[in-house]
Amino acid sequence: MLSLTNQKFIQQCIAPDCGAEFDLDARLFVCSRCGGLLDIERREKIDSAPLRELWRQRRTSLDPRDRSGVWRFREFLPFTEDTEVVSLGEGNTPLYDAPRSADYCRLPQLKLKHQGCNPTGSFKDTGMTAGVTQARKLGARLVVCASTGNTAASLAAYAARADLMCAIVVPSGHVSHAKLAQALDYGAKVFEVDGNFDTCMDQIRELAEDESVYLVNSINPFRIEGQKTVAFELAEQLEWRVPDHLVVPGGNLGNSSAFGKGFRELFETGLIDRQPKITVVQAEGAAPFARFYSDIEHERFVNDEHPQTLASAIKIGAPVSWPKAWRAVQETDGSVITVTEQEIADAKAIIGRDGVGCEPASATTVAGIRKLRINENESVVAVLTGHVLKDTDYVIKYHNGSLVAPDGRHLTPTFANVPIRIQSVKSVADLLR
Ligand SMILES: [Zn+2]
């Protein structure tokens, strides 16, 4: 067993002209000097030589931390060995071969890393286990977040596990039933406000000024720490040969930030020999990051006042983590692109035909890969962020042709599959002939 007690981490502002350092347990959400985003950085070098084998051995262990796909990689997490972790057995998500999706993207091969297979059905759990563990370590009374739904479900569950009070602010009428149901069932206090996600975010920041309240939005650097382990798990699943391209949906951009940090740390410690190009895909109607990327100057990030997309998980106009995501795209020579509502809907149906169910936001990846000109000898992994059961209303409407885009246009059910009313099984035999 490696000893973890000698590890030292700090919080550090990512703004190049600031770089202020703070104690790891300082209750901060942004840099108190300049308002910049915070990273958690290790101050000592780590001996990476025994890690691959150690992590592999842990897969046969019954220690709850070793059963978690996040805490199994705890050498890279800013906690000590005696930390009481709040876990639901997150991570350990499958990496699927997806031949039909590959075909649709005109590629010989495509892999799907399905983060929707986490305990609450979305990628948020990998970050939430770390965020809520830190909340409990700091003695918080109440954990809070603003959410389009998935964060709400995840925080509510982890808060329940940690026996902490939980308050969630959601945009009224803009959260799928399934996600709202999850948050309610896990016992969170859910507050609905008029407006969009960005309005909720503004409100929650005020609430978090109270000392006993801990904010667990994606701006929280501990969440990014948990989430970065997905890069570790993926690298391990690929026997430490990273793909040429990693494609992720872009909403609040915590995901791309976390993958960027995870792969950078693996690269810096010599566990992988290069980093994948990170491509972020946004819905056309909620694409402030894509606009920033396309602007040659890259000087001013302009928020979307009225983000519009049926992919509610990425319906975000003011993504707080954009500087970290931008760093990930730049460092890996990646890109940021957009896809239409029709492209998202069709790609989602194709992913389904591979036997893999995801929520609409996740399908931006396959829609995006189809548009990217990827060389057929390059390897690609798409990250699916949420489970199909997160938004079944969308699925049914797509297949029966009643899905209407935010601009009022009916989407074409290109790959429609509708229930067939029958009188007897005899007619079934005819239909399946
Ligand atoms: Zn700063």
* Residues forming beta bridges with residue 12, ordered by sequence position: 21, 39
Mean pLDDT over the full length of the chain: 94
Question: How remote is the CA of residue 215 from the centroid of ligand 1, in Å?
Answer: 19
How many Å lie between the centroid of ligand 1 and the Cα of residue 15? 6
Res 120: pLDDT: 98
**Residue 21 alpha carbon to ligand 1 centre in Å:** 8
Q: How far is the CA of 42 from the centre of ligand 1 (A)?
A: 18
Residue 416: C-alpha distances to residues 172, 185, 355, 371, 397 (Å): 30, 33, 15, 22, 10
Between the CA of 254 and the centroid of ligand 1 the distance, in Å, is 19
> 318 C-alpha vs ligand 1 centroid, how far in Å?
20
Distances (CA, A) of 223 to 132, 155, 305, 322: 8, 11, 26, 15
Q: Give the tokens for residue 377.
A: 């000898």
> Ligand 1 center to residue 317 CA distance, Å?
23
CA of 162 to the centre of ligand 1 (A): 31
The CA distance from 138 to 140, in Å, is 6
230 CA distance to ligand 1 middle (Å)? 27
188 Cα to the center of ligand 1, angstroms: 33
Separation of CA 307 and ligand 1 centre (Å): 29
- Give the per-residue pLDDT at 208: 78
Listed in sequence order, the residues at least 6 apart from 201 whose beta carbon sits closer than 8 Å to its beta carbon are 146, 217, 318, 320
DSSP string, 404-422: B-TTSPBPP-TT-------
What's the predicted TM-score (pTM) here? 0.94
Q: How far is the CA of 13 from the centre of ligand 1 (A)?
A: 5
Rounded to the nearest whole angstrom, what is the distance from the C-alpha of residue 179 to the centroid of ligand 1?
35
The DSSP line for 346-373 is: HHHHHHHHTT--B-GGGGHHHHHHHHS-
> Ligand 1: distance of its center to the CA of 228 in Å?
22
DSSP string, 25-48: T---SS-TTT---EEEEESS----
Which of the residues in the chain have pLDDT under 50? 1-6
pLDDT of 3: 37
Ligand 1 center to 16 CA (angstroms): 8
C-alpha 67 to ligand 1 mean position (Å): 37
Pairing of strands 21-23, 9-13: antiparallel
Tell which residue, 307, 249, 245, has the closest CA to residue 277.
245
Ligand 1 centre distance from Cα of residue 373 (Å): 38
Please give the distance, rounded to the nearest whole angstrom, from the Cα atom of residue 201 to the centre of ligand 1.
Answer: 21
